[in-house]
Chains A and B, each alone.
Chain A
Amino acid sequence: MFRKKGSSPFVFNVKSRMRVAGMLILLAPLCIFVRLFYMQTFLYEEFSSKAERAIYNYLAEDRLRGKILDVNGRELAESVRTHSCGVNKRYVQNKNKTVDFLSQTLGIPKKRILEKWNRASNFFFVAKKIKPDTYIKISQILRTNLGQGLELTPEYERIHPYGASAMDLIGASNSKNLGLSGIEQMYNRELSQDISKKRAKRARRGEIIYDRKLKEELSVANVYLTIDAVAQFYAENALKKEVEAIGAKHGVAIVQEPKTGKILAAASYPVKDGQSLAFQFTYEPGSTFKTIAISSALDAGVVHITDSIDMSGREWKVASTLTVRDNQHKKDFLSIPEIMQLSSNIGAGKIALELGAKNLYYYIKGFGFGTKTDINFNGESKGNLSHFNKWTVVDTATKGYGYGVAVTPIQLINAYSAIANGGTLMQPHIIDRIEYAGGKVDKKSKPVKIRRVLKEETTEIMKKVLQSVVETGSGKHAKIKGYNVAGKTGTAEKLSKEGGYAKRKHIVSFCGFAPVSDPQFTVLVILDDPDKYSFGGTTAAPVFKEIMERLLAMKAVPPDQLDFE
């Protein structure tokens, strides 16, 4: 039956059968290999994009944003993640059911949704900034038939729990978490963190499969201001009431800690996002500037506190172009405290001339006028102080009572704080610290002494002089029971567009500190262009008093008067 081995080439012994079978078995993987090679080489693009869609999902780019808080950690601005709900009409399976669902879930009348539906060619937003509870309800039906065509787009809502309070400082940011003005813009780099687009594996129904690589290390920071939200509220509240009562165009109120330079409140009214009048407004200060000129003259030793200045006729012809008049008293001689109490322009002008243009200029410069305070707020103005070489006698005299020099509120309050703290000009701060996600803290508000501007003895004299202004002079309305208060009123005429000074347009102000024995707060109040003619002593001083009273109570500062009952 069987032929002998080697007798014919077609004899199938076990070995050749195995070889044939092996080749047949190898043929299948070979075909697969050839197909794979073809696919890999010629159909790569097509299949890789299919695989990409089937296996991966993309996590959208994102931008996290830190908080802005007050010095005590009260949130002034915080980003909350919200979502916008949109409809892609093309993919909606049952229009009526979808509209019903959206109407019930979002609490929007059906009619309004249908109006949007009819107006849109394909895609339209039904609601923006939807709350988390609503988001859960919608996200749960997204993968059902009812949810086909619905889209939830993440966005942010910047919430200000204290309402418009300090908005002039904080500024604004948009729904993409980008700072647009104020602190939001200035500290945008620290406050925001960009999260790049990420590829994530997806499950069958599209859910993202967690992977450690998806988690990005947080570097976003929280910015703490030196502002105390309660002090800010008191300042804003008192300022708003007075601005509205006297019909002023603007108002500014600042509270500073004289020993550290920290700004506890900086209120502007009306409030505009990111535009703080405390740093950006420039004005001729008028009589509040007499404090600067007279303290400089006392410090230089050109006048003594016991000196009297000749007021004969209450009229002083400085030059052919300028005659200064004092209508508020009938005295022929005034002592230096009386010049301040009665706010005599003749007295302050004569003392400025006595000090001389050069000395006055360097003292004014020393107090920080004519240069930015470097408080680090966008748009801070440096005011206007020309070089003494250009001054005439009139310029020197008028600077003595606060004309011919433009200052910013922050410069003036910082100068008063220097008198309050014993003669040292401090660096003003509005940023207390920046706390990064990793726990690193960047302290920004360490007290920094800029320079000594007055001798301590001079400041002691000036404190008594300013205290007498409140006790018996033009600042009576700033008196606070139990506390010695020092301060100076200011009523300055504004420059007119036609040239010269406008008789009906003026700025009233009051700047002072308390308690005199150990000053805790310096407060400046400015009211710009009131409807009716008013004085710093009758309008700004009461606002100062209201703010200072609240601050002293808030910090439980003990009274420094012994017998006030």
Chain B
Amino acid sequence: MRVFVVLFLLALFGFGIAVMRIEINRSGREISQIQNEVEVKEARNQYLQLEISRLSRPGHIIQIAEEELGMVPAKPHEIVVLEEK
């Protein structure tokens, strides 16, 4: 009887390990998929950030300011720096 109990417990332990391994693999697969999604989203975000950099480059802003808005650069002596309170 005792042998059967030991064998049963061993079988249960083995089954537990098998289930755990399957679960680890499943989670690992999910993590990999999520990581892939994160990578793709990060790449997309990077592109958008770069687009912001492109649009905020001085040449682009000056072109819009001068050609579209008719602005002219201020001469340095015309700039008054207000003292911080």
Contact = CB atoms under 8 A, between A and B. Distances in A.
A209 B53 contact: no
A68 B62 CA distance: 24
B77 A483 contact: yes
Contacts of B73: 550, 553
Interface string A349-363: 000000000000000
Contact of A161 (B31, B53, B74): B53
A161 B57 contact: yes
Interface string A75-112: 10010111000000000000000000000000000000
A135 to B, nearest CB: 7
Interface in B19-48: 25, 27-33, 35, 39-41, 43-44, 46-47
A556 B35 contact: no
A233 B63 CA distance: 13
Contacts of B33: 207
A210 B57 contact: no
A142 B73 CA distance: 54
Contact of A209 (B29, B47, B58): B29
Given A161-B53, A201-B28, A207-B29, A556 B81 contact: yes
Nearest to B54: A161
A217 interface: no
Nearest to A205: B29
A553 B77 CA distance: 8
Interface residues of B, number: 30
Among B28, B32, B43, B76, chain A packs the most CB atoms within 10 A around the CB of: B76
A31 interface: no
Interface stretch (A324-332, A377-385, A414-422, A557-565): A557-565
If over half of A's interface residues share one DSSP class (helix, strand or loop), that class is named, otherwise mixed; here it is: mixed
A230 B58 contact: yes
Given A159-B50, A230-B58, A81 B43 contact: yes
A553 B74 contact: yes
Given A208-B32, A210-B35, A482 B57 contact: no
Nearest to A80: B46
A556 B79 contact: yes
Contact of A78 (B27, B30, B50, B75): B50
A148 to B, nearest CB: 20
A29 interface: no
Interface string B61-79: 0000000000001111101
A237 B32 contact: no
B76 A549 contact: yes
A136 interface: yes
Contact of A553 (B44, B47, B57, B79): B79
B54 to A, nearest CB: 5
Nearest to A211: B28
A553 B28 CA distance: 56
A9 interface: no
B51 to A, nearest CB: 8
Contacts of B27: 210
Nearest to A233: B58
B37 to A, nearest CB: 9
A165 interface: yes
A507 interface: no
Given A80-B50, A159-B50, A210-B31, A229 B58 contact: yes
Contacts of A74: 53
A78 B45 CA distance: 13
A162 B47 contact: no
A482 B77 contact: yes
A131 B44 CA distance: 8
Contacts of B76: 480, 482-483, 549, 552-553, 556-557, 559
25 contacts: A75-B49, A75-B53, A78-B46, A80-B50, A81-B43, A132-B41, A159-B50, A161-B50, A161-B53, A162-B53, A163-B59, A165-B57, A165-B59, A203-B29, A208-B32, A209-B29, A210-B30, A210-B35, A233-B58, A234-B58, A480-B76, A480-B77, A483-B77, A553-B74, A553-B76
Given A132-B40, A210-B30, 4 more contacts: A165-B59, A201-B28, A481-B77, A558-B81
Which A-B residue pairs are the 10 nearest by beta carbons?
A482-B77, A161-B53, A552-B76, A210-B31, A209-B28, A210-B28, A553-B76, A233-B58, A132-B43, A132-B44
